[in-house]
A = this chain, B = another copy of it.
Amino acid sequence: MASPIENHAALCERLKSCDVRPTPQREIVLKVILEKRDHPTADEIFARVKSQLPTISLATVYNCLETLVQCGLIRQVNLERAPTRYCPNLHEHAHFHDEQTGRIHDVDLPPELLARLHEVLPSGFRASSVELTFRGSAQPSAN
């Protein structure tokens, strides 16, 4: 049902393919993010990782997250002034921030719409990434 459970070898491969040394810490940080399709904060990730590797420090979690974001294995989501959240979904997508519940939902972005977005840029502007965030409320229609 959920995303496939990444095993040790697969996780190492992912890291190595990005020229990142596969340390146990990085591996577990990546694993806990991939195995749940939510948007945890560094603190939440720290808690999840700690249950499997109790000696890890928060600073390491931050270091690992920075590395993983830099090499594109996870994404970073910044909403308002709230703590940074991390996102396993690498497809092009927007975020919907439900103001009632605080929950974050992924919203798929059709490629052609993404292309349209880039077209609004004045000449001379080249964007390497776009961030799109909706704020509002989601009816619990049939979730």
Tell me the A residues contacting B by CB distance below 8 Å: 78-81, 84, 94, 96, 99, 105, 107-110, 113, 116-117, 120-143
Contacts and interface: CB of A to CB of B under 8 A. Distances in A.
B132 A130 contact: yes
A70 to B, nearest CB: 13
A124 B136 contact: no
Contacts of A105: 125
A117 to B, nearest CB: 7
Contacts of A139: 124-126
B127 A134 contact: yes
Contact of A96 (B78, B79, B107, B127): B127
Nearest 4 CB-CB pairings of A with B: A124-B141, A127-B134, A127-B136, A124-B139
